Structure 1
Amino acid sequence: MRHVTLVEIFTHPIAQKYLTRSGVAHAVSVAYHAFRLSVQHNVNPDLATKAALLHDIGHYEWYTNGQWDYEKYRQNDIHAIKGAERAHKLLIRLGEEPQAAKEIALAILLHTDSYLPEGTIQQRPLQKVVKLADEADEEPGGKHHYREMEYNLAVKKIKELDKKVLELLHSNQFKQLG
């Protein structure tokens, strides 16, 4: 059973504040990639699309002399840490089941290793799906964060994705996840 929909998350003022900062078009695209990848990796599509939608809400705007400074961002950013906390708080506030909120927050925390010391981390399937979905939409120099999408189109796409998730959860393939 789904406690919170993607539309409820997307339209919440807190989500809007941070999704606008990190790129609505990127967030929506990554959510769609996560849906597709969740099927391939047999991961709960509800958790995957929520984590993907919110994966960058921890972004801080790194500027030097009024210009986006990609290198400063790469060297100093901890957006996954901040984003995991923001997402968890938002999801709990919206009424998400606490264990689901935790899994989503962990997937956001581990969607990138840019803030970690050298080495690899062992990711669980949901975390891997979110990482792969994000990578599928990346553009050099962080340009994926600056693609634009009108609010009404984004809501329409999120509603369509909500419907796809619900259909998949009700199918026999994911009956055990609902």
Structure 2
Amino acid sequence: MRKVTLEELFNHPIVQKYVGRSGVAHAISVAENAFEIAAETGVNPDLATKAGLLHDIGHYTWYENGEWNYQMYQENDIHAIKGAARAHKLLVRCGEDLQHAKAIALAVLLHTDSYLPEGQLQLSPLQRVVAKADEADEEPGGKHHYRQIDYPTALDRIQKLDAKINHFMVTVELEQTC
């Protein structure tokens, strides 16, 4: 069934370090949104929530004088590229199914078009879910990266989400849609 849980990922030092930079509260909210959207659209919620949790793992700290510099971020950021590579390496090291690790990494890569040239991409269902889940939690000026959450509350939400995924995957025949 599931080779790697959200809790395992969440507690990994790489996730704590890099997701902490971009906002744990935001990452968990995106994972929760991804579960709901995936469940409604027939996309694998395990893959969607992992991609949601890891979607900003490539963020560089675009801070200036202790404040998030949204303008500098918009002009220079390629966090999705770095994040896809970092997420893939992490998932493989944690023992994730290799095809799932690739699908999750590609969803991280394509969760935003902020670094892409103009044009239309054909996103997979999983990639669309993660992009929509992220958009649903965004706040003007990047404020969603500032929301705070304490570790016990964050861990509780992750554990509840893992339980929802397990229940869903047991009770619903799931097409492995990436």
Normalised-by-shorter TM-score class: over 0.9
Cα distance in 2 for partners of 1:2, 1:22 equals: 26
Q: Name 1:173's counterpart in structure 2.
A: 173
5+ long unaligned stretches in structure 1: none
User: What do the CA deviations read for 1:23-52 (whole angstroms, capped 9, x no partner)?
Assistant: 000000000000000011110000000000
Q: CA deviation at 1:82?
A: 0.4
Instruction: Give the superposed CA RMSD.
Output: 1.3
Letter of the 1:67 partner, please give it. Answer: E
Range with bigger deviation, 67-76 or 155-164: 67-76
1:159 paired to 2:159: yes
TM-score by length of 1: 0.96
Match of 2:106 in 1: 106
CA offsets, 1:120-165, max 9 Å, x none?
2110000000000000000000000000000111011000000000
Runs of 4+ displaced beyond 4 Å: none
CA distance in 2, matches of 1:68, 1:92: 31
**What is the CA distance between 1:65 and its match in structure 2?**
4.0
1:132 partnered with 2:132: yes
- Superposed counterparts of 1:85-100, under 5 Å: 85-100=85-100
Measured in 2, the distance between the counterparts of 1:134 and 1:20 equals 16
Q: Which amino acid in the other structure matches residue 8 of structure 1? A: E
Partner of 2:173: helix, strand, or coil?
helix
Task: Give matches, 1:15-164, under 5 Å.
Answer: 15-164=15-164
Question: Displacement, 1:20?
Answer: 0.7
- Compute the displacement of 1:173 (Å): 3.5
Paired letter, 1:71: Q
TM-score by length of 2: 0.96
Note the C-alpha offset of 1:12.
Answer: 0.3
Report the residue type matching 1:33 in the other structure: N
Matched AA of 2:99? Q
- Taking only the aligned residue pairs, the percentage that are identical comes to 64
Instruction: Report the number of matched residues.
Output: 177
Runs of 5+ unmatched residues, structure 2:
none
Deviation of 1:64 (Å): 3.1
The separation in 1 between residues aligned to 2:40 and 2:8, in whole angstroms, is 26
Encode CA deviations 1:71-120: one digit per residue, 9 max, x unaligned.
11001100000000000000111100111000000000000000001112
Distance 1:63 1:22 in 2: 11
